[in-house]
Amino acid sequence: MHNGKKIKTLSKAGRHLHMAKNRAWKKNKIVKQKNHQYYADILKNILFTKLIDDKQPGQQIVHMLKKTKMHYERGNRFYYYIDENVSLWSDKPVIHNLPLDYTLIAHASLKEIKRVACGKKISKEMRITNENILSAVEEYLLRCVKYLKNLGTLDAAERVSRIITEKSRNMEDALQRILIWNQFLHQSGHTLMGLGRLDKILDRYCEGLSNKETEDILTDFCICLHRHYIFKSQALLGDTGQLIVLGGLEEDGSYFCNNITGALLDIISRLNLPDPKLLLRVSASMPRKLAAKACSCIVKGNGSPLLSNDDLIIPLMQEFGYEKEDTYGYCTSACWEPLIPGKTMDQNNLDNVIFAGPMADFLNVLEQSKYQNFESLLNDYCKEIEKQAKRCAESASAIKWKEDPLLTMFYPDCLMYGRDISEGGARYNNYGLLSVGLSNTADALLNIKKAVYEEKKFTLQELKDVMKQEEIFKKLSSVSPHFGDDSDIAVQVSQRLFDAAKAGIADVRNSFGGRFKIGLSSPGYVDCGKKIPETPDGRRAGEPLGVHISSMHGQAYTELVSFAASLDYSRGGFNGNVVDIMAAPSFIENNFEKFVDFLQFGIKRGFFQMQMNVVSSSILLEAQKHPEKFTGLIVRVWGFSAYFNDLPEEYKNLLIRRALQNEGKV
Amino acid sequence: MIEETSDSYLIGNIQRFCLQDGPGIRTTVFLKGCGIRCPWCANPENLDNKIVHYQTGSKPGAYGKYYTIDQLREVLLHDIPFYSSGGGITWSGGEALLTLPKLGRLVLDLKEYGINQGAETSVFVSDEQLEFAAENLDWFIVDIKILQPEGCLKFLKGDIKQYIRNVEKLADKKKILCFRIPLVEPYTYNDENLTLIIGFLKKYQQIPVEIFKVHRLAEKKYNILGRRMDSYTELSDERLEQFYERLKKNNIDVEIIQM
């Protein structure tokens, strides 16, 4: 999950080092013994790319395709190999973290793609670039066919060969094409690229396939996607962005799902791999059978699927300005941020608004005389949040993106107007911010309201001193109401803070004239928490901030969902709002049908999104002590699934604490 | 927190999203006060109709909180969107049926809203108390504990005749959702009592039965309340299974549950 602002400020040399360090760190976690070789490979890669003339757009991609080595292991249905040593770097941030629209790729031949991307109506410069890239793709495919024939794997060779001139005959053809382009994206530095609505895209190939055949083909596809797990991971192992979006509401009010929807839920339940990850677009009109299948997958504990509520999200996207017909095709970027494949270049994780950020400065200048009542204090705090959000948006607006002929080819608006996606050629060019610490800030302010203004236990000036007293500080965490309670006041204070952030970004426009959106989910709860001094919600300096919209005080799931459903996500507040739930496996298993009820009623009640960690505290504690016994244990972190053993200790500790809280053990 | 007034009612606890206390998704209200004294009681904080204070380390706490009827109604209606599929309110305790008539207005209001209401009860209550509940609630989960008259009086401080009479009344009105049997040696799990239970259940063959072994999870709660928990040991799985098989052989619709 890259932070665009961070990337922007890195120098060219720094970027090499950053990449090398990042990848070496990840690799180091898994294969320490290969560390030196890995550094050597990275250096080789840097030398390789530095020698290439970058003046002609797409030349690096052409060169990358020429140099990419082939590798195929016998017995595989699909050809899929990323040459990790031949991947591109850039001195500017690369557009990433969005799903490519694989529709054309899945169905059409390369010849057809050429016809679309290099037609007479395309500007001369763009046509030449596209021809160069697609010719290099053709050469690569021919090389691949030859390689596979030499190995005697004729089926795979023919399937790759057909890509060049024939449209897809069946599901295997379509998936092979998706895998080839998925490889190109990863190698060309496009990280965290989702797979999009594969059940919808592949729908036409369901006919004539038995359930068993469908499941076998998709299983092989999923196993392929799990390869190169370390290479694909970004800030944390598992942060690969390989998200498949399933199901969804149609414009006519019906709900779309098919054999592939169910099959992928079954496959991910069975394979128990962190990759690929699933997101299920849910709606009140979805069949109960599918909701039950989703629960069966969730209870396996692999973190999939994240549930995304179409009944709420689609109208919010329309209100923001996306065309009605586009919104029904929405996907999310790597985790939770809704956008439209093939039409948006929306870069959604550009910075974090940290709600608890102004707290320390604010506490220093608190004067009772200035704040005669809680309302005036809350007003001033909201103004600080508004300013912070505006600063984040203005800073992100200035990002210059690396020109991107590869992605541009698959954006019809870019082709039509001859404008690269990096220059705002897509139909929508909005940016998104994340936010973190709303729960801590709302709780802190609710505590001040109660202790200073209602019970008058101490004055504002005394608050800082009071926080130094251990006993009183501890008690602050148990004062109610809290963020997550569905009481009017908890909702109101949380909403005021959220609205302040929305107000801060409302008038900012990026360099393409695009607008900003924000959401109440972020991967920053651990890292941002490290920088934040203690807060008067009972959180110590440096401790993690609250995770998305989650229960920190044992609220019932229904209460948390009602709280989340009471928040107003309009006016750009829809950039991912995940209710994050911890649950013990036995709790769901013993009450399965009622849990399905809970999901269905929760959708109607109006949660925005929901994800679950289904694991008991005892398992997590045991896994922390004896990682060797739990190599396959998967958990949900940020907005993706990952192996528990691969997580830094602070993330493990946080998950354990939350599981204990959920089970009422702390 | 509001204090005790003529308009306020002491409630032990309110738990939302309860999945094991009746059909659907429920909110369970633990009322205070109980007419019997089960040695294995898992909710000792609710035996008496008063706030019970405790201390864990330096942290003081209290079991029980006063609510007005309006406040209670508001809390109990929060989860209305989740009460479809038969969910609703479960009155528990203590002995729910003892206190319920005092909350009459609320019970009737909830009935007006069409909210399903049930109670977990041991039915050691007066005719009037039973009558009110039977009239206004949709179903009852009825405990079967000690059916031996002397044991019932000695250990539970209960009158077995009152119990049997009340079960018959609820059964006549077809309001018993299921029987629930806590199994604990030697109180409920002894040959004579088990035989009596089977004989008793034969009269109510159409009513399902849930059995469970009584755990000792409440021991921590006894400690912080400064009370001593009875020294019974948890029943073995084997013995639980033996009784399950015995009930099955007698054509009783039985299920083992975890409590």
Reported ipTM: 0.90
Q: Do B17 and A590 touch (CB under 8 A)?
A: no
The yes-or-no verdict on residue A25 having pLDDT over 70 is no
Interchain proximity B16–A604, CB inside 8 Å? no
> Which residues of B fall within a CB distance of 8 Å from A557?
17
Rg of chain B, C-alpha, whole Å: 18
Q: At what angle do helices A110-117 and A124-150 cross, to 10 degrees?
A: 170
Q: Hey, of B13, B15, B21, B79, which one would you mutate to test binding to chain A, going by the most A CBs within 10 A of its CB?
A: B79
- Centre a 10 Å sphere on the Cβ of residue A427 and count the other Cβ atoms it contains: 18
| Mean per-residue pLDDT, A327-341 | 95
Chain A touched by B81 (CB under 8 Å): yes
The Cα–Cα gap between A59 and A53 comes to: 7
pLDDT at A1: 33
Instruction: Please give the mean pLDDT across all residues of chain B.
Output: 94
- Give the count of Cβ contacts less than 8 A between chain A and B: 49
Average pLDDT score over residue span A535-548? 94
Reported as a single tens digit per residue, the pLDDT across A178-212 is 999 999 999 999 999 999 999 999 999 999 999 99
Q: Which domains does chain B have, with CATH numbers?
A: 8-256 (3.20.20.70)
Please report residues of B whose CB lies closer than 8 A to that of A605: 81-82
pLDDT at residue A369 in the model:
77
CB of A113 closer than 8 Å to CB of A105: yes
- The answer, yes or no, to whether residue A4 has pLDDT greater than 60, is no
Chain-centre distance for alpha carbon B6: 26
Mean of the per-residue pLDDT values for chain A?
A: 90
**pLDDT tens digits, B84-128:** 989 999 999 999 999 999 999 999 999 999 999 999 999 999 999
pLDDT digits (tens, 9 = 90+) for A448-496: 999 889 999 888 888 888 888 877 777 777 778 999 999 999 999 999 9
pLDDT at residue A133 is higher than 80: yes
Q: What is the reported pLDDT for B4?
A: 60
Residue A48: its pLDDT value, please? 44
**A558, A590, A595, A600, best to mutate vs chain B, most B CBs in 10 Å:** A558
> In chain B, which residue's Cα lies nearest the Cα of A563?
B78
State residue A16's pLDDT score.
43
- Confidence grade of residue A54 (pLDDT, cut at 50, 70, 90): low
Question: Which pLDDT value is given to residue A488?
Answer: 95
- State the pLDDT at residue A368: 72
- Full-model pTM: 0.92
Average pLDDT of the residues in A276-290: 97
- Candidates A434, A388, A445, A438; CA nearest to A573 is A434
* pLDDT score of A361: 85
* C-alpha span between A88 and B225 (Å, rounded): 66
**Which member of B20, B58, B85 has the closest CB to residue A597?**
B85
Mean pLDDT of A606-616: 96
The residue that leads in pLDDT, A519 or A456, is A519
Q: What string of DSSP letters covers A531-600? A: HS--BTTTBPTTPPPP-SEE-SS---HHHHHHHHHHS--TTT--S--EEEEEE-HHHHHHTHHHHHHHHH
Residue A9, CA distances (Å) to A18, A210, A274, A516, B188 in order: 12, 52, 32, 21, 73
Residue B196 pLDDT more than 90? Answer: yes
Closest to A598 (Cβ–Cβ): which among B20, B82, B258? B82
pLDDT at A53: 52
- pLDDT exceeds 90 at position A14: no
Ordered by start, the domain boundaries in chain A are 7-193, 352-576
- Asked if pLDDT for residue B82 goes beyond 70, the answer is yes
Judge whether residue A37 has pLDDT over 50.
Answer: no
3-state secondary structure of A110: helix
Report the pLDDT averaged over residues A523-538.
94
- Higher-confidence residue of A321 and A91: namely A321
The percentage of residues in chain A with a pLDDT greater than 90, rounded to a whole number, is: 79
* Per-residue model confidence as pLDDT tens digits over A232-266: 998 899 999 999 999 999 999 999 999 999 999 99
Provide mean pLDDT across the span B2-10: 74
CA-based nearest distance A477→chain B, Å: 12
> Is residue B244 scored above 50 in pLDDT?
yes
Determine the pLDDT at residue B3.
Answer: 58
Q: Tell me, yes or no, if B220 comes closer than 8 A to chain A by beta carbon.
A: no
